[in-house]
Amino acid sequence: MEQLTVALPERAYDIVIERGLLQQVGQQCKEVLKPGCRVAVVTDGNVAIQYGSLVQASLTQAGFTAKIFLVPAGERSKSPEVLTWLWEELLGFGLTRSDAVAALGGGMVGDLAGFAAATVLRGVDFIQIPTTLLAQVDSSIGGKTGVDFDGYKNMVGAFHHPSLVYANLSTLKTLTAEQFACGMGEVLKHGLIKNASYYEWCINQMFEIQDREVEALKTMVLESMKIKKAVVEKDPTEKGERALLNLGHTVGHAIEKLQNFQMLHGQCVALGYLCAAYISWKR
Ligand code: GLY
């Protein structure tokens, strides 16, 4: 197990990186949540098939009352309509301010569940269980939550930091090549904005990474998380330096919108990097 701590001005939270199955998630939650509380696990159908029962059982064994809430996979679920449905479901589950919401899945689930956690009952504890590369190295760290609105990305949201990020490397093994490539865009971004030797290491290790060799994945995920954590610690609410993490995102978000959210976020952002590099070269 590897552990990092994100130290924010108001409080700190841990990022735990494990391999193997996800049975330890309940024990890890015991460190940060109120004993025996309710945990609403928000996930999508694809992720639920693989990890839903495992995570629910682990939370139950750790003494929590856990229930799974399914949202449709894909960016379209990051909407005010699905958020409203989720608020109703969470209140129907009897959620109180002593309880928690957990996001099990990729960036969409994390942003949506995080915003529900930030807003229901004026805010409850939030746990991130990212299962995609993009969510592990980027969206689960730093407290950005929200939904898309009026056809625009992330138009309504809040900063609501998790109490814990639990990332398990084994979940990266089953990602499609497309999903994995989306996460690699964020990984390479971290090297480009903050650490040239890490970028070069990624290029040198390209075959090991592509084969998803666990040691290469561990080094890569850990290094990327360290970069993300350091930027977030310096500028938690994006008043300055954190904007560096948005490299490629301005054009990327425009492509996402123009493609009617049919392309994956990571694909659009990767195209956005190319545009940013081109504009930079032209200038
Ligand atoms: N994904 C960019 C950020 O967290 O600021």
pLDDT band at 21 (very low <50, low <70, confident <90, very high): confident
CB 242 less than 6 A from any atom of ligand 1: yes
Atom of ligand 1 nearest to the CA of 238: 5
| Closest to 145 (Cα-Cα) out of 237, 9, 224 | 237
40 touches 99 (CB < 8 A): yes
Mention every residue, 6+ apart, whose C-beta is less than 8 A from residue 149. 79, 80, 155, 156
Rounded Cα distance between 278 and 45, Å, is: 39
Q: What is the pLDDT of residue 7?
A: 97
Q: Is 120 exposed, middle or buried (0-12, 13-18, 19+ CB in 10 A)?
A: buried
Q: What pLDDT is recorded for position 96?
A: 98
Does ligand 1 lie within 6 Å of residue 245's CB atom?
Answer: yes
DSSP conformation class of 69 = E
Amino acid at position 127, single letter: I
CA 138 – ligand 1 centroid, Å: 6
User: pLDDT tens, 82-113?
Assistant: 999 999 999 999 999 999 999 999 999 999 99
Q: How far is CA 81 from CA 54, 63, 84, 147, 158, in A?
A: 28, 32, 5, 10, 17
Nearest-CA residue for ligand 1 atom 5 is 245
Q: How many CB atoms lie within 10 A of CB 211?
A: 11
Q: Is the pLDDT of residue 23 over 90?
A: no
Which residue's CA lies nearest to atom 3 of ligand 1?
Answer: 245
pLDDT, residue 282, reads: 97
List Cβ neighbours of 125 (8 Å cut-off, separation of 6 or more).
32, 33, 34, 99, 100, 101, 117, 163
64-76: per-residue pLDDT in tens? 999 999 999 999 9
Pairing mode, strands 144-149 and 152-159: antiparallel
Beta bridge partners of 70: 43
What mean pLDDT is predicted for residues 260-272?
A: 92
The pLDDT mean for the chain works out to: 96
When pLDDT is cut at 50, 70 and 90, the band that residue 25 belongs to is very high
pLDDT of amino acid 55: 98
The residue whose C-alpha atom lies closest to atom 2 belonging to ligand 1 is 245
**Per-residue pLDDT reduced to its tens digit, 199-257:** 999 999 999 999 999 999 999 999 999 999 999 999 999 999 999 999 999 999 999 99
Check pocket membership of 228 for ligand 1, CB cut-off 6 A.
no
**pLDDT tens digit string along 116-162?**
999 999 999 999 999 999 999 999 999 999 999 998 899 999 999 99
**pLDDT number for residue 209:** 98
Q: Residue 183 has what DSSP assignment?
A: H
Total residues found in the chain within this entry: 283
Instruction: Report the distance separating Cα 214 and Cα 211, nearest Å.
Output: 9
Distance 247 CA to ligand 1 centre (A): 10
Nearest atom in ligand 1 to 242's CA: 5
**pLDDT the model gives residue 39:** 98
Sign of CA dihedral 40, 45, 46, 50: positive
Question: 165-209 pLDDT, tens per residue?
Answer: 999 999 999 999 999 999 999 999 999 999 999 999 999 999 999
| Chain centroid, CA 187 distance in Å | 13
Catalytic residues: 122, 144, 186, 228, 238, 242, 246, 249, 253, 265
The whole-number pLDDT of residue 151 equals 87
Q: Which token pair is 148?
A: 């898309």
Distance 133 CA to ligand 1 centre (A): 14
Does ligand 1 have an atom closer than 6 angstroms to the CB of 253?
no
